[in-house]
Amino acid sequence: MDVSEGAVSIEVPEASGGGEGAASGVFFNPDQELNRDITVAVLRAFGDREERAERYFDATAASGIRGVRAAAEGWDVTMADVDADAVSLARDNLDRNDLEGEVLLQDANAVLHDVDRVFDVVDVDPFGSPVPFADAAFANTRDLVCVTATDTAPLCGAHFESGVRRYSAVPRNTEDHAEMGLRVLLSTLARTAARYDVGVRPVLSHVTDHYVRTYLELDHRATDADAALDELGNVHHCPECLYREWEYGLLEGERQGCPHCGGDNVVTAGPVWLGPAHDADFVRDVREHLSEEMGRFDRARDTLETIADELHVPFHYNQHKLYKRWGESAIAMDDFLAVLRDAGHEASRTHFGGTRFKTEADVGEIREAVLAAN
């Protein structure tokens, strides 16, 4: 079956049109077009900024759709897959679009450890967790590592033991679990990179359609790795009154009681990434590099605009949940944000959902602001 995305047209097996986990054939998930459209815009924005960056490695190629789209943007593309059918399809798909590129029937980790190869940008888009590729990617990439994780249940604490095992962190299934997943992933990636004296700076991250996607710019000094580790800490969350608190550092302990409601069900997650999950200027630049021929142009633009304006607070609230606790009906989000701002609190929407928001104010201050405005 023919599929067109952006400027390219590729062949994918009929059986894989149904989405992730299709029973046979090379993998292709049409639902990840948003992810790929944003990837192309990132490659354009990053390539404009870092002119010497030209070598892109699609580590887990499948049909080759990412690598083919990157090649169409002028990147010098290498792809790898351990599935011979995938490798042959990815080669055909380069040919169909008259594009150059190398497709290797090899384990991505072996390619990354090949001393004769250097990549500026490495894209890890595997089945489930990216952890099996993280060491090699950080040890051997020059500028930017792009990572997808689709194992959101372990990451956000819904599958607690596998989350602990795979991510060497304590994830908690709080009501802002999508952001929990992102911040556990960022923590694990930062700690993995630090082992190679590499510091990570997330320039764009989004959680959409049940996957986490993040783009990490790399700095190659031990002090940069130290700086990244300084962004780690714990989040304490009271499921009764929705109070949250966070603290930097790897040695902080659990909380006994909730300082807001006195409840004793406070849960602690960590180490999680408490620092910025995006760089607003870069996100705006990426948005400018989207183009209208992209199949998910509108959604990509809206998502990036929301992210660019998001506050750098390491969790978010659900406005409807708060109003439900207060026994009141929620108000329009713009009016609600205005109430918080009028009370002197910074506040923003978040791409984690239309009823969700970020603010530095705690639950007591949020309630006071709403009461004062009534």
Ligand X SMILES: C[S@@+](CC[C@H](N)C(=O)[O-])C[C@H]1O[C@@H](n2cnc3c(N)ncnc32)[C@H](O)[C@@H]1O
Q: Taking CB within 5 to 8 Å according to partner kind, which of Zn ion, ligand X, none is near residue 130? A: none
> Site residues (CB under 5 A) for Zn ion?
238, 240-241, 243, 258, 260-261, 263
Q: Are 72 and 95 in contact (CB under 8 A)?
A: no
CA distance 10 to 29: 13
Q: At what angle do helices 131-140 and 177-194 cross, to 10 degrees?
A: 50
Contact in structure between 232 and 248 (CB atoms under 8 Å): yes
Q: Are 310 and 283 in contact (CB under 8 A)?
A: no
Binding of residue 81 to ligand X (CB under 6 A): yes
Q: Which does 263 bind (CB under 5 to 8 A by kind): ligand X, Zn ion, none?
A: Zn ion
Sheet of 232-237: strand order equals 244-248, 232-237, 267-273
Q: Specify the residue, 66 or 177, whose C-beta has the smaller distance to ligand X.
A: 66
CA-nearest of 252, 125, 231 to 183 is 231
Judged by CB under 6 A, which stretch of 21-29, 151-159, 234-242, 308-316 contacts ligand X? 21-29
Candidate residues 5, 125, 143, 285; the one interacting with ligand X per rule CB under 6 A? 125
Residues 34, 42, 62, 103: which binds ligand X (CB under 6 A)? 62
Give the amino acid at 126. Answer: P
SS3 296: coil
The alpha carbon torsion through 226, 231, 232, 237 (nearest 10 deg) reads 170
Q: Residue 81 binds which entry of Zn ion, ligand X, none, with Cβ cut-offs from 5 to 8 Å by kind? A: ligand X
Does 57 participate in binding ligand X (rule CB under 6 A)?
no
139 annotated binding-site participant: no
Scanning 81-89, 159-167, 187-195, 365-373 for contacts with ligand X by CB under 6 A, the matching segment is 81-89
Q: Does 80 bind ligand X (CB under 6 A)?
A: yes
Tell the smallest beta-carbon distance from residue 60 to ligand X (Å). 3
Residue 261 interacts, among Zn ion, ligand X, none and using kind-specific CB cut-offs from 5 to 8 Å, with Zn ion
Report the residue number, 36 or 289, with the smaller CB distance to ligand X: 36
Name the residue nearer to Zn ion (CB basis): 261 or 373. Answer: 261
CB of 331 to Zn ion, least distance (A): 23
Q: What angle do CA 273, 305, 8 make, to 5 degrees?
A: 100
Structure tokens at 297: 């142009």
Number of residues that bind ligand X (CB under 6 A): 21
Q: Tell me whether residue 36 is annotated as binding.
A: yes
Stretch that binds ligand X, among 59-67, 88-96, 168-176, 255-263 (CB under 6 A): 59-67
- Residue 111 CA to residue 99 CA, distance in Å, equals 21
Distance CA 106, CA 51 (A): 29
Alpha-carbon span 73 to 352, nearest angstrom? 30
Please give the sequence-ordered ranges of beta strands (E in DSSP) within 36-155, or none if there are none. 55-58, 76-81, 102-105, 119-124, 141-149
Q: Which stretch binds ligand X (CB under 6 A): 27-35, 161-169, 177-185, 271-279?
A: 27-35
Residue 82 interacts with ligand X (CB under 6 A): yes or no = yes
Give me the residue whose beta carbon is nearest to ligand X.
60
In degrees rounded to 5, what are phi and psi of residue 48?
Answer: -65, -40
Choice between 33 and 143, CB closer to ligand X: 33
To the nearest whole angstrom, how small is the minimum distance from the Cβ of residue 105 to ligand X? 9
Q: What is the DSSP string of 222-266?
A: HHHHHHHHTTEEEEEE-TTT--EEEEESSS----SS-TTT--S--
The annotation places the binding site for S-adenosyl-L-methionine at: 36, 66, 81, 107-108
The annotation places the binding site for Zn(2+) at: 238, 241, 258, 261
The annotation places the binding site at: 36, 66, 81, 107-108, 238, 241, 258, 261
Q: Which residues bind ligand X (CB under 6 A)?
A: 27-29, 32, 36, 59-60, 62-63, 65-66, 80-83, 86, 107-108, 125-127
